[in-house]
Amino acid sequence: MRLTLALAAAAMLGILVGGYLWLAGSAVVIDETGGVESTFVTTSDGREQPLYRVWSGVFYTIPRLEGTIEVRCANGSRARSGYVTRHWHTRIRVTGSTPCARLLDE
């Protein structure tokens, strides 16, 4: 009985957390070049919200600002792509033979 109750509570918690993450939106950058140093949601007035490195080559945040994703690479180059706002999922893939060579919206 207790095990069933614990499993039901864990399932409900998983559904609630998953639902929140889906409704909150996301900004994700996937780096296939290995040269991305940092990524930010950047607004038109210059405010920035960082994306956090989840693991090697993947950056993630729940957006609090409206703007574009700016990718800053090890070779000093910067590139912007995508549209980010709350409750919206945006995913950018960084590809090419050099860091920040190409940004693809997915």
Q: What is the pLDDT of residue 62?
A: 94
Number of helices (H), then strands (E), belonging to the chain: the values are 1, 9
- Under the banding of pLDDT at 50, 70 and 90, the label for residue 27 is very high
Under DSSP, is residue 57 helix (H, G, I), strand (E, B) or coil? coil
**Terminal-residue alpha carbon distance, the chain:** 45
68 close to 84: Cβ distance less than 8 angstroms: yes
pTM for the structure as a whole? 0.83
Residue 24 host element (H or E): helix 2-24
Given a cut of 80, is residue 20 above it in pLDDT? no
| CATH node for 25-105 | 2.60.40
